[in-house]
Amino acid sequence: MTNQMRIPKKEELLELQAKYKTDRKIGEALGGVPEYLVAYWRRKKGISRYSLPKYSKEQIKDLWERYGSDEKAGAELSISKSGFYKWRKIYDLMEKPKALKFQQLEFPLSGRPELSASAVAVRGSKAGRQTIAQKLLARKAGKAEVHPGEIVNVEPDLAMSHDNAGLVIKQFRQIGQTKVWNPDRIVIPLDHRVPAESEKTATAHKSIREFVKEQKITNFYDIKEGICHQVIIEKGHVLPGQLAVGTDSHTTSYGCLGALSTGIGATEMAAVWATGAGVSEDSDSG
């Protein structure tokens, strides 16, 4: 008398599939069950054939550690910011990288954006050596070159405000705006007056926290994170070749990474928050 073959439950079959992948190997693990029979059990239990995920955990992890940004990492795979976030969630990669991979601290100074024929013609008439500041402004403006005294409209990659974000918020409200242009490019670390030394400062911090929540600004660092400019660099919010503005005169320190960065006033920052547009006049930097 032969023993009756044991049919695995759906949960067991799913566990075996996750471990062994193919019907043949699952059958072997069950003691020599034919491959076609495992396939039959799968279909009866509504289990589809195992297929490799489109993106591996190693691939998603590498891009996450390289950029620390769903938007930038997703662009590498030609998927949306939310699409990359879903892959991170699948692989439980929810923590922000403590440090970005060194490869992202490289960029070609000689690189040029794709230019129109008219832009190339302009370049021919104003040819000359360009400083790094001119090169980066030209790249952001989609121009071949920029020159001292020229005004260009550019969109910053980073807009930083610290405790003085309270004043920026006030100006933002006064110009009648209700929604920031890009919450992912705004970074607000609280560091100048922490912990709050007065009721006035505590109230300002409260208004900033409320604004951050209202506008869904994810890059907010409360009072224990560190000095704003160190936080910006250590968390990878600015990279070589990018343009950064901040309501602090030391914003220029991001130049240590090969970025173009400058301080602006609260009113100017309110305009950036509202429109994402910044107007820059190239000065003669020698």
Give me 38's structure tokens.
């495992």
CATH number, domain of 260, equals: 3.30.499.10
- In-domain check, residue 130: no
Residues 175 and 196 both lie in one domain:
yes
Query: Looking at the structure, do residues 36 and 67 belong to the same domain, yes or no?
Result: no
Same domain, 193 and 211: yes
Question: To 5 degrees, how large is the angle CA 115–CA 132–CA 233?
Answer: 110
Same domain, yes or no: 5 and 83:
no
Is 188 part of a structural domain of the chain? yes
Q: What are the b/e assignments for 201-219, b being 16+ CB within 10 Å?
A: beebbeebeebbeebebeb
11 and 40 both lie in a single domain: yes
Does residue 36 sit in the same domain as residue 95? no
Instruction: Check whether residue 170 and residue 100 sit in a common domain.
Output: no
Domain count, the chain: 3
Question: Does residue 7 lie within any of the structural domains?
Answer: yes
* Same domain assignment for residues 99 and 40: no
Q: Is the residue at 127 inside a domain? A: no
Question: Is residue 184 within 8 Å of 216, Cβ to Cβ?
Answer: no
pTM of the model: 0.57
The partner residues of 243 in beta bridges, in order of sequence, read 260
CA distance 71 to 64: 10
Show the tokens assigned to 245.
Answer: 């503005």
| Structural domain contains residue 118 | no
Q: Is 220 helix (H, G, I), strand (E, B) or coil?
A: strand
Residues 45 and 92 occupy one common structural domain: no
Which class for 104: exposed (0-12), middle (13-18), buried (19 or more C-beta within 10 A)? middle
129 found inside a domain: no
Question: How would you write the pLDDT of the chain (286 residues) with one tens digit per residue?
Answer: 445 678 889 899 888 888 888 889 999 999 899 999 999 999 998 888 877 677 888 899 989 988 888 998 898 888 899 999 999 998 999 988 866 665 454 455 444 444 444 444 444 444 458 888 899 999 888 898 998 888 888 999 999 999 999 999 999 999 998 999 999 999 999 999 889 889 999 999 999 999 999 999 999 999 888 999 999 999 989 998 899 999 999 999 999 988 999 999 999 999 999 998 755 555 544 3
Tell me if 114 is assigned to some domain.
no
Amino acid found at 28:
E
Secondary structure letter of residue 153 according to DSSP = E
Question: Are residues 164 and 66 both part of a single domain?
Answer: no
Spatial separation of the C-alpha atoms in residues 196 and 190, rounded to whole Å: 10
Buried b or exposed e, range 126-137, using 16+ CB within 10 angstroms: eeeebeebbbbb
Residues 4 and 85 in one domain: no
User: Whole domain around residue 96: which residue ranges?
Assistant: 57-105
What is the Rg, in whole angstroms, of the alpha carbon atoms belonging to the chain?
A: 27
Cβ-count burial 53-85 (b if 16+ within 10 Å, e if not): eebeeebbeebbbbbbbbebbbeeeebeeeebb
In this structure, the answer to whether residues 271 and 171 fall within a common structural domain is yes
Residue 142 lies in a domain: no
